[in-house]
Amino acid sequence: MTQHTTASPTDSRLSVAIIGGGIGGVAFAVALSRFPDLDVQLFEAAPQFSEIGAGVSFGPNAVCAIQRLGLEEAYRRIADASPAPFEDVWFEWRRGRDDGYLTATLAPGCGQSSVHRADFLDAIVAHLPEGIAHFGKRCIEVTQTEEGATAHFADGTAFTADILIGFDGIKSAVRANVLPAEEHGEIAPFWSGTYAYRGMIPTARLEEALAGKGADRRLALVPQMYLGHDRHILTFPVKQSALINVVAFITDRSTAEPQLPEGEEWVQAVTQQEMLEVFAGWGAASRAILECIPEPTRWALHELPELPRYHRGRVLLVGDAAHALVPHQGAGAGQALEDAYVLASLLGDEACTRESVQRVLAAFEAVRHPRTCRVQRTSHEAGNVYEFAGEGIGDDEARLIDNLETRFDWLWHHDPEDDVSQARRRLGWRHSVGVAQEA
């Protein structure tokens, strides 16, 4: 028999149910918890907070969102940065076949700001008040009425709030309520055509391996991108530069709609030999890097199509549930954090009530949808550029260099507070409160 819980309508201005306890969902819950007149509850499927994957990179826009969310101090304690005089380098770009230097993309004042995913999640969780998070709550369905939205969980329980926010990732259970199959068809993640081989290498070991092959030791600590036809390799430090995060990509461009073999797991362990064969003939640095990963995992990178909408009634999709993308611009987590700040700022305003909240969710969608769709699209395009398949660029190094030096400007030079202001104008609100900052 279903056990049903409803947030008390008398104790708060607005009750909010958050589905999903990843980086975006927890950051959003922390931001909302600073508004004492909101009832905030977060539901996570796992038995505790946890993150899959290794390193995550943040561009200047994501660091701005972290600052706006009041999480900068927690972030700075664990974030890695390039060593001087390379502190502004996001990536150096090199030919994979011979390690030849092409150019560098600079992010002044930020550089390659990166963390280990699990470390960052732990740092955010430390700011989450007790009593908000609920574990072992795998959402299997969402329903809604004019009065509220209900999450139904696999353990037979359910929870109803004024609004429900789906931060539940690329395999979102919330998505079907916002985009019903009978209206939109089945919307599912699709394979991008790219596999990513992943590994973590102790920094000292990689420095030694690079030197052993006659490559520069500094290639270990300064973020690098090695480019080639249908392939590229990236490296950057995490864990206070104790480890180097490595991702080596190969893309199938033989067909417009590549299909993952039926039944194949998205993530699986593979042999080092398979990975080495993919990059046969590449330069000394690439060989040194890959030979330091004895047990790589291979990830089939999936993404979502650009969704026609993120909002219906009292339910909203955010983060990867709304706009999952390939990682070629280091932008996925950053977009989730932008979403978290903008939405928390709007819901935190006293003008947002049970009666007006659906208009607020619609305003959020209106200001975020064009940007997040563009980030999805350009992230896919970036992978093409790195692998000499960029439209009008190919392997023309002069055009490639010009593109790499400027292609991220529009993405990075964005303050999520501008989105808040735009949404407020749509709503006819005057004064901005922003997310309350921690002391």
User: What CA–CA distance (Å, rounded) separates 169 from 333?
Assistant: 11
Domain ranges of the chain: 3-188+304-427
Distance between CA atoms of residues 108 and 132, nearest Å: 38
pLDDT tens track for 220-255: 999 999 999 999 999 998 888 899 999 999 999 999
* Strands across the sheet containing 163-166: 133-134, 38-43, 14-19, 163-166, 315-317, 311-312
Do residues 44 and 139 make contact, with C-beta atoms less than 8 angstroms apart? Answer: no
* The model's pTM: 0.95
Q: Looking at this protein, which amino acid is placed at residue 225?
A: M
Contact 266, 302 (CB under 8 A): yes
- Tokens of residue 152, six digits: 């139904």
Phi, then psi, of 128 in degrees rounded to 5: -85, 120
pLDDT per residue as tens digits for the range 21-65? 999 999 999 999 999 999 999 999 999 987 666 778 888 999 999
Extract the tokens encoding 402. 């010009």
The dihedral through the CA atoms of 387, 390, 396, 402 has a sign that is negative
d(CA 223, CA 285): 13
3-state class of 18 per DSSP? strand
Enumerate helices (H) and strands (E) in the chain, giving the number of each.
15, 20
Question: Cα separation of 322 and 301, whole Å?
Answer: 16
Is 332 strand, coil or helix? helix
DSSP string covering 260-293, please?
Answer: PPTT--SEEE--HHHHHHHTTT--HHHHHHHHT-
C-alpha dihedral, 267 to 62 to 309 to 323, nearest 10°:
-10
- Alpha helices (H) in 102-228, listed in sequence order: 117-125, 175-178, 181-184, 203-212
Given a cut of 50, the residues of the chain with pLDDT beneath it are 439
Beta bridge partners of 225: 93, 234
**Amino acid at site 89:** V
- Residue 400 DSSP code: H
3-state SS class at 136:
coil
Phi-psi region of 169 (alpha: psi -120 to 50; beta: other; left: phi over 0): left
User: Under CATH, to which class is 3-188+304-427 assigned?
Assistant: alpha beta
Out of 13, 117, 175, 198, which one is annotated catalytic?
Answer: 198
Residue 413 DSSP label: S
Distances (CA, A) of 108 to 92, 195, 408: 14, 31, 13
Of how many residues is the chain composed? 439
- Tell me the C-alpha to C-alpha distance, in Å, between residue 251 and each of 256, 307, 385: 12, 24, 12
Residue in the block written with tokens 């529009």: 410
**Strand-pair category, 38-43 with 55-58:** unpaired
Active-site annotation holds for 198? yes
Q: Using DSSP, state whether 83 is helix, strand or coil.
A: coil
